[in-house]
Amino acid sequence: QLTFVESGGGLVQPGGSLRLSCAAIGWPVDDFAIGWFRQAPGKKREGVLCISSSGGTTNYLDSAKGRFTISRDNAKRTVYVQMNSLKSEDTAVYFCAADASSPYVRAGNCPRRGESQIDWDYWGQGTRVTVSS
């Protein structure tokens, strides 16, 4: 069974940076697209970024453009999100996920913008990011 362990969250001041990690447990993820999501208190979960099996990236969050970068290290079975210039509105629990049910996504492709809310099959427990002075 594939699952993920996210880490790297914490308390950071506005304008600061964090690097989140998503480590895959139980299965190689070389041929999976990996998505990052976040859920702020009282809000619905939203897609942030996705990286395809070939390293292509898809940004689902306009506010993250130019500030967040996703990357992967298949040898370490880990996907990263570098978050810079953090704002208070970035406060949320951040999750990573993979999907094996959608043929398009299971082939290693990221869902297109506006379509990130598929039923992703495999999730981690999340890592909390708090941006506050």
Structure confidence at residue 114 as a pLDDT band (50, 70, 90):
confident
Task: Concatenate the DSSP letters of all residues of 1-12 into one string.
Answer: --EEEEE--EEE
- Tens-place pLDDT, residues 22-53: 999 988 899 999 999 999 999 999 999 999 99
- In the DSSP assignment, the letter for residue 106 is H
